């Protein structure tokens, strides 16, 4: 049943209250992802030098953990079962520049645990809009199993000039349901909202698709991203780095001491340094009771080893190959690289499965918004993921060649399995192969025709040449 204006306004206020606790958690994740950490204690009496070192003790590893997975995710096509050609909704995908914008959907889901797309009718094609969960929240009857939400709310903000001429800030709110999209404005704290307009989309479902990083039937853990479980380890790495910088600043060099010597003063009685230190200078004193010595420097090895172990622990928990985080990749064999990437490959495969279903849902909805009922009803079509593995090209080509020769797989069906090859490349190759095949057929036909026009030589009769 369609909402009335009053019901829509009340729904907006309710959803704003429900989404507020989640926003605090998401804002913390966003801060840590961009390197805004608060992991080192600062005493009230700290000097400026202390703050200077603290600001430089942040080694943000969290963004790299997200990037390593995101760079292995790229949707390259959308095909129905048994077909090698992309279907109609793929044109909508490309018209909305989703070849590039899909990375934002993936990164937001990896970072926060969830992201969204909205699909609405448009001219000339439906409009697909990626959303991160700080901007949008969807509400489901059964969060674990429902395909479509009951409601979704999108919240942004803008500055405007008030009647008194001052610049103020307000919320721009959009409510999505299964028949309409509603627009409201509200104050910053969301306590009051004002109706602006609404438009009917008449899709029959709330036009919002959810992308989940880890599918989990436990509702309390249904939106676990890659960043939040690693925040404590990130704090630990920052703390160790700060201690390393403190030791490096104050005690990583040898300090000399002298006893039994009266202070040296200038003509005005000011204490001056008694020695000019240098590699070619000798320290000496007139007083026989003077003694020289030095304090040993603080070793930094323990700090460096401690930080390296924390990074290794982060790599283990996040299934990120250690050489990505540590930068150590000396003398690794091909087998060692495969073994090091095994956890990451399994993780990427799981994300492809989860995100792939959501992409297919988005494309089906794009078909519905375009009036293509067949595309909407086609739940067997699948997205095609680009092969981004780091296998050697020679080994890959050898394996594909054996598939073709030994198992009889048509070579053209294996072209898209070559790492780095796009669907555009495959389409161009197939077109070129078709032209070459047509040319071969024409040449064969001409050869047959030319061969038929030539007279066959006569056989000799009784050993005499044919006349």
The 10 Å CB-count burial string (b at 16+, else e) for 48-78 is: eebeebbeebbbbbbeebbebbbebbbbbbb
d(CA 77, CA 424) in angstroms, rounded, equals: 10
Helices vs. strands in the chain: H and E counts, helices first: 12, 12
Residues 120, 126: contact at Cβ < 8 Å? yes
DSSP 376-388: HH--S-EEEE---
Find out whether 331 and 323 touch, Cβ atoms under 8 Å: no
Q: 175 lies in a domain?
A: yes
> Is there a single domain that holds both residue 88 and residue 19?
yes
Residues 99 and 21 in one domain: yes
Distance CA 214, CA 222 (A): 7
- Number of domains composing the chain: 2
Structural domain contains residue 40: yes
**Same structural domain, 308 and 408:** no
Per-residue DSSP letter, 463 = T
User: 115: Cβ–Cβ under 8 A, 6 or more apart, which residues?
Assistant: 104, 105, 106, 108, 109, 130, 131, 132, 133, 210, 211
Structure tokens at 246: 């403190």
Question: CB-based contacts of 401: which residues, under 8 Å, 6+ apart?
Answer: none
Same domain, residue pair 52 and 184: yes
Query: Quick one: which of 320, 292, 305, 331 has its CA closest to 227?
Result: 320
SS3 370: coil
Residue 202 lies in a domain: yes
Q: What are phi and psi of 324, to 5 degrees?
A: -70, -40
Residues 312 and 417 in one domain: no
Q: What phi-psi label fits residue 311: left (phi over 0), alpha (psi between -120 and 50 degrees) or beta?
A: alpha
Integer Cα distance of 31 and 24 in angstroms = 11
Answer yes or no: do 376 and 400 share one domain.
Answer: no
Structure confidence at residue 350 (pLDDT): 92
Domain assignment present for residue 257? The answer is no
Strands 382-385 and 255-259: unpaired
Q: Are residues 310 and 410 in the same domain?
A: no
378 and 406 belong to one structural domain: no
CA 219 to chain centroid, in Å, comes to: 24
- Residue 281 domain-assigned? no
Nearest CA-CA partner of 387 in 416, 353, 350: 416
Whether residue 195 is found in the same domain as residue 99? yes
**pLDDT tens digits, the chain, 467 residues: what are they?**
688 999 999 999 999 999 998 999 999 999 999 989 887 887 888 788 888 888 888 889 999 999 999 999 999 999 988 777 888 899 999 999 999 999 999 999 999 999 999 999 999 999 999 999 999 999 999 888 899 999 999 999 888 887 777 888 889 999 999 999 999 998 877 678 999 999 999 999 999 999 999 877 765 555 789 999 999 999 999 999 988 888 888 776 677 778 877 777 888 878 777 777 766 677 777 778 888 787 777 788 888 899 999 999 999 999 888 888 887 655 555 566 666 778 888 999 999 999 999 999 999 999 999 999 999 999 899 999 987 776 555 666 777 777 777 777 777 777 676 766 666 677 777 777 777 777 777 777 777 777 654 445 555 555 555 54
Residues 196 and 143 in one domain: yes
- Give the C-alpha separation, 125 to 340, whole Å: 44
Query: 338 lies in a domain?
Result: yes
Do residues 410 and 359 both lie within one domain? no
**What size, in residues, is the chain?**
467
Rounded-to-integer distance, Cα 313 and Cα 247, Å: 24
The CA distance from 237 to 314, in Å, is 10
* Residue span of the structural domain in which 426 resides: 394-450
Cα angle at 99 between 97 and 104, to 5 degrees? 90
The CA–CA distances, whole Å, from 401 to 6, 389, 395, 398, 409 equal 66, 18, 10, 5, 9
- pTM assigned to the model: 0.77
CA 346 from chain centre, in angstroms, equals: 16
Q: Do 297 and 204 share a structural domain?
A: yes
Residue 12 resides in a domain: yes
Look at residue 81 and tell me if it is in a domain. yes
DSSP conformation letters of 38-96: --S---TT--HHHHHHHHT-----HHHHHHHHHTT--EEEEE-TT-SS--THHHHHHHT
């Amino acid at each position: 049943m369609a909402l009335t204006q009053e019901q829509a306004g009340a729904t907006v206020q309710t959803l704003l209250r429900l989404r507020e606790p989640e926003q605090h958690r998401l804002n913390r994740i966003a801060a840590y992802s961009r390197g805004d950490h608060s992991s080192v204690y600062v005493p009230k009496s700290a000097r400026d030098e202390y703050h200077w070192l603290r600001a430089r003790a942040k080694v943000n590893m969290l963004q790299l953990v997200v990037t390593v997975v995101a760079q292995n995710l790229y949707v390259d096509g959308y095909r129905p079962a048994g077909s090698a050609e992309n279907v109609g909704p793929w044109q909508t995908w490309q018209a909305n520049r989703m070849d590039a914008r899909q990375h934002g959907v993936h990164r937001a889901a990896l970072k926060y645990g969830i992201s969204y797309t909205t699909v609405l009718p448009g001219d000339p094609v439906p409009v697909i809009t990626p959303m991160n969960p700080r901007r949008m929240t969807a509400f489901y009857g059964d969060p674990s199993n429902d395909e479509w939400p009951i409601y979704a709310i999108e919240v942004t903000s803008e500055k405007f000039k008030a009647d008194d001429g001052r610049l103020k800030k307000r919320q721009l709110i959009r409510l999505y349901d299964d028949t309409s999209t509603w627009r409201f404005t509200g104050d910053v704290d969301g306590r009051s909202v004002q109706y602006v307009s609404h438009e009917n989309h008449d899709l029959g479902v709330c036009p919002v698709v959810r992308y989940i990083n880890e599918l989990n039937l436990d509702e309390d853990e249904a939106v676990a991203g890659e960043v939040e479980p690693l925040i404590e380890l990130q704090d630990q790495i920052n703390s160790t780095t700060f201690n390393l910088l403190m030791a490096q600043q104050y005690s990583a060099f040898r300090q000399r001491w002298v006893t039994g010597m009266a202070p040296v003063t200038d003509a005005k009685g000011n204490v001056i340094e008694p020695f000019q230190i240098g590699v070619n200078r000798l320290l000496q004193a007139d007083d026989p009771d003077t003694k020289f010595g030095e304090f040993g420097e603080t070793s930094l090895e323990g700090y460096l080893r401690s930080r390296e172990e924390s990074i290794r622990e982060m790599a283990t928990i996040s299934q990120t190959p250690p050489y990505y985080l540590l930068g150590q990749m000396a003398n690794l064999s091909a087998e060692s690289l495969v073994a090091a990437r095994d956890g990451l490959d399994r993780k990427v495969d799981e994300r492809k499965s989860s995100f792939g279903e959501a992409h297919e849902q988005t494309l089906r909805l794009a078909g519905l918004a375009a009036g293509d009922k067949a595309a909407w009803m086609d739940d067997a079509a699948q997205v095609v993921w680009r092969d981004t593995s780091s296998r050697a090209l020679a080994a890959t080509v050898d394996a594909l060649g054996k598939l073709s020769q030994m198992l009889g797989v048509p070579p053209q069906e294996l072209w898209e399995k070559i790492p780095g090859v796009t669907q555009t490349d495959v389409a161009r190759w197939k077109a070129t192969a078709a032209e070459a095949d047509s040319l071969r057929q024409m040449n064969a036909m001409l050869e047959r025709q030319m061969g038929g026009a030539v007279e066959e030589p006569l056989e000799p009769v009784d050993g005499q040449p044919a006349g």
